[in-house]
């Protein structure tokens, strides 16, 4: 599988919307349990126009993963350091696209000077983020009725941000 990670364009909105909708419906069954009320609420804002708006917002950084000409993944980082989207087509899972999207999002957060990245993961995505150094900080119910896992990861002390300025100490004491 050839893979390209690139900045999302408004022309990617329809394909990215398909990724979001299929990923939620087909991969997140553990989370929505086929409950039509939850699915309707979760998918309600996953329209091509809304995705295009997210992509064009100057406070967001959006990426798509493209394999053999097809958008197979989408990720979105807010200027506040929240990973708001990180979704893959079902057939793209386990092939490196998610890791590549997340790595690039962490790099962007570092470029922006974000010290810690945060996200709300589904139960389906929990292991993916935990395996990449994210700390589970508890459960939070989403507005659409799914219990999510609040994750965060310190970036400025991580190899992800090798050029980040080191934290200042509070005192001039010697540390050994």
Q: Which residues pair with 136 in a beta bridge?
A: 151
| pLDDT tens digits, 149-174 | 999 999 976 556 666 555 544 455 55
Tell me how far CA of residue 124 lies from CA of 11, 108, 111, in angstroms. 29, 25, 29
| pTM of the full structure | 0.88
What is the average pLDDT across 123-151?
A: 94
In whole angstroms, what separates CA 63 from the centre of its chain?
10
DSSP for 43-67, please give it.
Answer: HTT-SHHHHHHHHH-TTEEEEEEEE
Q: Under CATH, which architecture does the 3-154 domain have?
A: 3-Layer(aba) Sandwich (3.40)
| pLDDT tens digits, 28-70 | 999 999 999 999 999 999 999 999 999 999 999 999 999 999 9
């Amino acid at each position: 599988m050839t893979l390209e990670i690139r900045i999302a364009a408004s022309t990617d909105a329809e394909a990215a919307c398909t990724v979001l909708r299929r990923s939620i419906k087909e991969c997140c069954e553990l989370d929505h349990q086929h409950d039509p009320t939850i699915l309707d609420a979760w998918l309600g804002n996953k329209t091509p126009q809304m995705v295009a708006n997210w992509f064009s917002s100057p406070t967001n950084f959006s990426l798509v993963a493209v394999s053999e000409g097809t958008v197979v993944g989408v990720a979105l980082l807010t200027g506040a350091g929240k990973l708001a989207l990180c979704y893959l087509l079902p057939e793209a899972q386990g092939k490196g696209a998610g890791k590549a999207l997340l790595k690039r999002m962490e790099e962007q957060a570092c470029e922006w000077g974000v010290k810690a990245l945060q996200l709300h993961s589904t139960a389906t995505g929990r292991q993916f983020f935990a395996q990449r150094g994210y700390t589970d900080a508890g459960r939070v119910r989403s507005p659409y009725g799914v219990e999510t896992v609040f994750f965060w990861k310190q970036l400025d002390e991580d190899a992800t941000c090798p050029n980040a300025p080191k934290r200042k100490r509070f005192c001039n004491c010697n540390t050994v």
